[in-house]
Amino acid sequence: MSEVVVAASPVSLWLTENGFEHEILGVDHQSVPIIKVERTVLLPFAAALYAYGFTYLMVQCGYDAGAGEDLVSVYHLAKFGDGSGDRPEEVRLKVFLPRTDPRCPSVYWIWRTADWQERETFDMYGINYEGHPNLKRILMPEDWVGYPMRKDYVTPDFYELQDAY
């Protein structure tokens, strides 16, 4: 069986040339490179990518890799060209977080659009975005227990709405 080798993307080459160690996880169905970043270096990585031209955070989201597995914080970034109609350059960062300690630095101070997106990921998966200016529930009631999108979440039999009227 032969191993599939993924060619380094221009952004991956740039990161390597500038001393940013990373792991290439592959490319998605649209050839967008996916890069694994450790949470301890997410902010320097994000700031460098912003300086390189990735000024647009298309999506920040999270997912649960499976019961007992890591929680993942995902950042899909775009770098727009000179306006000639070319497709923007894109990259996706993934930060794998242990379920027992799902802390991740907030990128709010780099991309303000991360505000509600990080809040939603916090609300649904329990990833704590350190440094976020207003990290609180956005979809669930403030007193909700647990994180509904985790694969090991047990739905409560009953939830009483208080002060609903």
Give tens-digit pLDDT for 113-142: 999 999 999 999 999 999 999 999 999 998
CATH class of 10-130: alpha beta
Residue 64 forms beta bridges with which residues? 71
Reading the chain (165 residues) residue by residue, the pLDDT tens digits are 545 455 678 899 999 999 998 999 999 999 999 999 999 999 999 999 999 999 999 999 999 999 889 999 999 999 987 666 678 899 999 999 999 999 999 999 999 999 999 999 999 999 999 999 999 999 999 888 899 999 998 887 766 665 555
With a CB cutoff of 8 Å and minimum separation 6, the contacts of 78 are: 54, 56, 58, 88, 89, 90
Residue 61 forms beta bridges with which residues? 74
Mean pLDDT rounded to a whole number for the chain? 90
For residue 4, the model assigns a pLDDT of 47
With a CB cutoff of 8 Å and minimum separation 6, the contacts of 80 are: 53, 55, 56, 88
Domain ranges of the chain: 10-130
For residue 6, the model assigns a pLDDT of 56
Distance of alpha carbon 20 from alpha carbon 48, whole angstroms: 9
